[in-house]
Amino acid sequence: MILVTGGAGFIGSNFVIDWLATGSEPVINLDKLTYAGNLENLKGLEGDSRHRFVRGDIADYDLVLRLLRENQVRAVVNFAAESHVDRSIHGPEDFIQTNIVGTFRLLEAVRAYWGALEGDAKAAFRFLHVSTDEVYGSLDKADPAFTEQHRYEPNSPYSASKAASDHLVRAYHHTYGLPVLTTNCSNNYGPYHFPEKLIPLVIHNALAGKPLPIYGDGQQIRDWLYVQDHCSAIRRVLEAGRVGETYNVGGWNEMPNLEVVHTLCAILDELRPRGDELPYAAQITFVADRPGHDRRYAIDAGKLERELGWKPAETFESGIRKTVRWYLDNSQWVANVTSGAYREWVDRQYGVA
């Protein structure tokens, strides 16, 4: 059995769904259900005895250790984090707490559990830490893409807190021998993406007739990967990655933000025209830039391809079309997460945390 943390969030829930669809091994899903965690993402797993959800904090050492021991967990995949750059600018504290202190406590519980294992169980155990390309900082236009050797130069409280967690994971391998793996992935997009991030926000605002906010000049470049490709990369690294190594994950899909937004508008014009003859691009509005906004991210995923044979299955064109269709087909999901109805339900179900 594996323990997934943050498995009610965007990437974690996609990972859990894909994991159970592609194999038979059960999952314990530990998630605090912050604003970003959503049990509705996991609705399709209701009645599946291979999935057990536990509401809790990765910083809760006793809870984590108990879950590991009771279930004889053979691997931990750590998605749990505060993940939104803009929120980290307005309020960094939660990022320090979960991404740094939380990862530290999680590592401590894992170290205690793994230290008591013996023989094959000890040799086969893995801790996979899911991280981001943002730890490497910002590239100039002509710079080569980030490799695993690129120095860490995080620029936002979010990326600094993720960088700190990566360093802790690395240190637990070098100091204690903990069998860790780290993945640093580029920007994801796809189903269950909370509509505070660029792609789901633009789809949501477009359909709601609201402005599509472009920070600064919109020429910042991100490297986009369809979320299921990220999940398949994590599965591959968990299966065959070399202990102590880090693997960059990306789709070779660099694009300026403005181009991403125009692409979304064009697909929506085709699939769900506005009804007044005007294109959705008419809603594009330039707004103040994000403080400290990183100009360009680009991932060199060559190591993962060479060593483990991983390649993304989707192009940006195929993945973004699937994503827009998903949001059109799942308007109730968006309505629930944006209306506060979901939060009210969580508070009723679990008591206000």
214 lies in the site for ligand TYD, by CB under 6 A: yes
> Which residue has the closest beta carbon to ligand NAD?
9
Which partner in ligand TYD, ligand NAD, none is near 250 (CB below 5 to 8 A by kind)? none
Query: 132 near 162, Cβ under 8 Å?
Result: yes
193 lies in the site for ligand TYD, by CB under 6 A: no
Examine the residue annotation and report whether 133 is marked as an active-site residue of this protein: yes
230 lies in the site for ligand TYD, by CB under 6 A: no
Of 266, 243, 233, the C-alpha closest to 124 is 243
Q: Which of 57, 82, 133, 314 is catalytic?
A: 133
Sign of the alpha-carbon dihedral angle for 209, 213, 90, 4: positive
* The only residue of 198, 203, 233, 237 in contact with ligand TYD, by rule CB under 6 A: 198
Residues 6+ apart with CB under 8 A from 2: 19, 25, 26, 27, 28, 73, 74, 75, 76, 77
Q: With respect to ligand NAD, which residue has the nearer C-beta, 54 or 328? A: 54
H/E stretch holding 204 = helix 198-207
**Which residues in 151-291 belong to E strands, given as ranges?**
180-185, 187-189, 212-215, 221-226, 246-249, 254-256, 284-287
The stretch among 63-71, 117-125, 194-202, 305-313 that binds ligand TYD (CB under 6 A) is 194-202
CA neighbours within 13 Å on the CB side: how many for 114?
Answer: 22
220 lies in the site for ligand TYD, by CB under 6 A: yes
- Positions in the binding site for ligand NAD (CB under 6 A): 5-6, 8-12, 30-34, 36-37, 57-59, 79-81, 83, 98, 102, 130, 132, 162, 185, 187-188, 194
The distance of closest approach from Cβ of residue 314 to ligand NAD in the complex, given in angstroms and rounded to an integer, is 15
Pairing label, strands 254-256, 221-226: antiparallel
Examine the residue annotation and report whether 317 is marked as an active-site residue of this protein: no
Residues 279-308 vs ligand TYD: string with x where CB under 6 A?
Answer: -----------x------------------
Q: With respect to ligand TYD, which residue has the nearer C-beta, 197 or 230? A: 197
Q: What is the DSSP string of 306-320?
A: HHH----S--HHHHH
253 lies in the site for ligand TYD, by CB under 6 A: no
* The only residue of 78, 257, 263, 283 in contact with ligand TYD, by rule CB under 6 A: 257
Taking the chain, what is the end-to-end CA distance rounded to the nearest angstrom?
28
The CB density around residue 120, as the number of other CB atoms within 10 Å, is: 9
Residues 76-95 vs ligand TYD: string with x where CB under 6 A?
Answer: ---------x----------
User: Cα–Cα distance between 146 and 159 in angstroms, integer?
Assistant: 15
User: Cα–Cα distance between 19 and 17 in angstroms, integer?
Assistant: 6
Examine the residue annotation and report whether 113 is marked as an active-site residue of this protein: no
* The only residue of 35, 53, 61, 215 in contact with ligand TYD, by rule CB under 6 A: 215
Q: Tell me the catalytic residues.
A: 133-134, 158
Q: Which residues bind ligand TYD (CB under 6 A)?
A: 85, 187, 197-198, 201, 213-215, 220, 222, 257, 290
